[in-house]
Structure 1
Amino acid sequence: MAIDFEIPADAKLVRERVQAWVQDECHPAEQRLLAGEDQTTVVSELRAKARAKGLWCPFIPTDYGGMGLGPLANALVQMELGESYLAALSMNSQGPDDATMLTLLEHGSDYQKERYLKPLLNGEMRVCYSMTEKAAGADATGMQTRAERQEDGSYLLNGDKWFSSAASHADIAVVMAMTDPTAPRHKRYSTFIVDIPSDGFCIKRDIPTMALQSPLDAMLRHAHSEIEISNVKVPSENILGGEGNGFSMGQHRLAYGRLRHGMHNVAIAQRALDMTTERVIGRSTFGKLLADRQAVQFMLAECASKLYVARLMILHIAYKAEKGLDLRHENSIAKVYLASMVHSVVDIAIQLHGALGYSQDTPLARWYTQVRAQRLVDGPDEVHTWMTGRNVIKAFKDNGTTRAACGGDLL
């Protein structure tokens, strides 16, 4: 039997609908913002229109008001949404809200689903995820923020958080803190839902980064915050998923975030390659079109090859997710590759645009500085590469071959 790469008709249809939505509605809405229209009005109108068209929360079950898409269809959708600033936000599929919705859906109590998940799904609230700390970095088990249980069953949280994305415009924060320093390393942490504002929860600043900011970044407040947590009282009903389960839930949550970043990276790289190809077929130097030069064709071929591998990776992981198979190993490989891929493609696009690419008259320079973060967020490349190497060694020890660590379990 042949391997079938035919996209199911329903998944193909939803991809086409979303593709049209991004081109016909999201890009024009961006221009409205740049022309000076009120951000709240434009975004509210766009989201209302998306919801009316049934383009809302792609990955959320229909019983909760979402589109109920499986992993494959959602992957196809996300690879379209990455093209626009507003696309994911328009469909209530933006990070970090998306992964938190999934966590609440799977682990939240009835109270938490009513109090927090429901307004998140309705687009009435935004959320930030506060796990990262300066002292811990890539080692999440090194977190120092503490949560001490009080006599009335509540918890007092104390600590400092770093690079909490979207905190400056969030209504709630999902905070990971140590509840039992004597427990096994991965059972020391619990996750708490904190209302913003709360006494003692202080957003000290939005951290300046190397990423170039466009007017749309400023309007949509794409920022990462430094937070001081001082005696923040959290009721017992706001502990998410039970005491000691914060680390495992966090890793599950980050797994989706890694894939979503990668899917959006494909969209950015595809748009960069399209822009570049249009540029080289219309520009001549020394009496010859750039497109006719073999060196330029090789550079375009490199981009195309990387995008091809990237899409196959995502489709393979989506397939494993559809089948309920373990995809942690492939997720780590793809996370590293997709981050490198988008940076490489945008770099080549800048080179072939020349001074125009280096300027801020195209989105290329902004993308170049922004996608650099992909090699750091949700676990730096080196940690995922280290894990992949360990899996290669384990596969050989277990089976006498490394096939299982190289896609050979299915192919």
Structure 2
Amino acid sequence: MSIDFEIPTEAKAIREKVRKFVHDECIPAEKELDTKLAEVLGPLRKKARAQGLWCPFVPKEYGGMGLGPLANALVQMELGESMLGALSMNTQGPDDASMMTILAHGTEYQKEKFLKPLLNGEKRICFSMTEKAAGADATGMQTTAVKDGNENYILNGEKWFSSSASVADMALVMAKTDPNAPRHKQYSTFIVELPNPGYRIKRNVANMAIEGPHDDVIHGGHSEIEIKDLKVPADNLLGGEGNGFNMGQHRLAYGRLRHGMHNVAKAQRALDMAAAHVTKRSTFGQLLADRQAVQFMLADCASELYIGRLMLLHIAYKAEKGLDIRQENSIAKIFHAHMVHKVIDTAIQLHGALGFSQDTPLAKWYPSALAAAGRRPRRGAQVEDR
């Protein structure tokens, strides 16, 4: 199958517009994050919406930009350069994939009540699928949902690493509705309004990441959840009984791609920082940039980034054509996780002690890159619900 890598003119224009916004608005705004996040994010979102930069993947009739897979990939590969990039345009995980799920499978009632405030940026949503005992095996979930007459479901169980639950106004919760059905038809998805006494956040799971004052909102804390006698109206069942697994897999597929897109952007910023540093830093009377070993390190990173971009463009191309991308998506998930770890690690080395400090964003990026490269691909563990 021949592949056309020519990017349409309108997609190029959108990419340039987003790139300018990220560099002119988002990256400078990162320096103001010692103040209240609302004082930084509110004006940033207002500027983005004024420029028509809002919910890139959402159809125009729902208030989004209506971008297809290719144009959205180009946009996401710019937004990931800044920790405020995706948030500024209401395309952050895990909200984005949940919006797409409700958009595709929600009833008119659900779209009006739950999707509309999400699209407006008024509310946040988390995704509660993973459980301690099940890990990456979504069919190992033990949380149950039993119908109480015709009006409600009663949910009981636990969830693990539910990203952004601590800042969410609602949750998509997967639970077993029919233990006797075929394996992939046992599960259903429910929209749960928060806070709710039946959905209790036991704790945010501490990890090796360097935490800032707004990390829950910006990066999404990872919560351990107790679900006890959680009453959910039948009207909040999303997509019908037995369809939770398939919807969840489709949802996670986009989340994996978005991770890859943002990792490309983050790696590009790290490489740019490293290149800028070595061209002005001298040791023993010679620029670092003139040392062959340093040139090899930069060239290796540039090669990895080139492969990563081509991989995402190929997947976006196939998605545009409505072709199956499951195999490529799995390959990309692994490759981009290792790629971003390698580039950030190299950038830290080339910065020397400065890279180890928190005077640059490299040290803060490193733990998340290490988690992605070390835990997900090798063990197949579901690190977070994105």
In 1, Cα distance between equivalents of 2:175 and 2:33? 39
Counterpart of 1:53 (choices 51, 54, 59) is 51
What amino acid does structure 1 have at the position aligned with 2:42? Answer: S
What amino acid does structure 1 have at the position aligned with 2:9? Answer: A
- C-alpha contact (below 8 Å) 2:142/2:157 kept by paired residues: yes
Q: Describe how 1:68-107 pairs up with structure 2 within 5 A.
A: 68-107=66-105
Listed one character per residue, the Cα deviations across residues 94-143 of structure 1 (whole Å, up to 9, x for unaligned) are 00000001000111111111110111111111000000110101111111
In 2, Cα distance between equivalents of 1:221 and 1:12? 28
In 1, Cα distance between equivalents of 2:208 and 2:330? 25
In 2, Cα distance between equivalents of 1:153 and 1:195? 16
Where 1:228 maps in the other structure, the secondary structure is: strand
- C-alpha contact (below 8 Å) 2:348/2:356 kept by paired residues: yes
In 1, Cα distance between equivalents of 2:216 and 2:132? 25
Greater Cα shift, 42-51 or 267-276: 42-51
Q: Describe how 1:251-290 pairs up with structure 2 within 5 A.
A: 251-290=249-288
- CA-atom RMSD, angstroms? 1.7
In 2, Cα distance between equivalents of 1:237 and 1:376? 41
Name the structure 1 match of 2:200. Answer: 202
Where 2:192 maps in the other structure, the secondary structure is: strand
% identity of equivalent residues: 68
Counterpart of 2:42 (choices 32, 41, 44) is 44
In 1, Cα distance between equivalents of 2:158 and 2:292? 54
Listed one character per residue, the Cα deviations across residues 298-356 of structure 1 (whole Å, up to 9, x for unaligned) are 11110000000000000000000000000000000010000000001111111111111
- C-alpha contact (below 8 Å) 2:45/2:88 kept by paired residues: yes
1:370 positional shift? 1.5
Structure 2 unpaired stretches of 5+: 382-386
In 2, Cα distance between equivalents of 1:308 and 1:129? 32
In 2, Cα distance between equivalents of 1:312 and 1:381? 23
Name the structure 2 match of 1:395. Answer: none
- C-alpha contact (below 8 Å) 1:212/1:370 kept by paired residues: no
Number of equivalent positions? 381
In 2, Cα distance between equivalents of 1:237 and 1:300? 55
- C-alpha contact (below 8 Å) 1:261/1:374 kept by paired residues: no
1:376 positional shift? 7.2
In 2, Cα distance between equivalents of 1:355 and 1:80? 28
Counterpart of 2:138 (choices 137, 140, 151) is 140
1:218 positional shift? 5.9
Where 1:60 maps in the other structure, the secondary structure is: coil
In 2, Cα distance between equivalents of 1:220 and 1:277? 27
In 1, Cα distance between equivalents of 2:87 and 2:201? 23
CA pair 324-295 structure 1, distance change in 2 beyond 3 A: same
Where 1:244 maps in the other structure, the secondary structure is: coil
1:30 positional shift? 2.0
Structure 1 unpaired stretches of 5+: 385-411
In 1, Cα distance between equivalents of 2:56 and 2:181? 38
- C-alpha contact (below 8 Å) 1:350/1:358 kept by paired residues: yes
In 2, Cα distance between equivalents of 1:372 and 1:221? 15
TM normalised by structure 2 equals: 0.95
Name the structure 2 match of 1:227. Answer: 225
TM normalised by structure 1 equals: 0.89
In 2, Cα distance between equivalents of 1:376 and 1:192? 32
- C-alpha contact (below 8 Å) 1:320/1:326 kept by paired residues: yes
Indicate whether 1:313 and 2:297 are aligned. Answer: no
In 2, Cα distance between equivalents of 1:241 and 1:359? 48
Name the structure 2 match of 1:401. Answer: none
Q: Describe how 1:6-405 pairs up with structure 2 within 5 A.
A: 6-34=6-34, 36=35, 38-217=36-215, 220=218, 222-375=220-373, 380-383=377-380
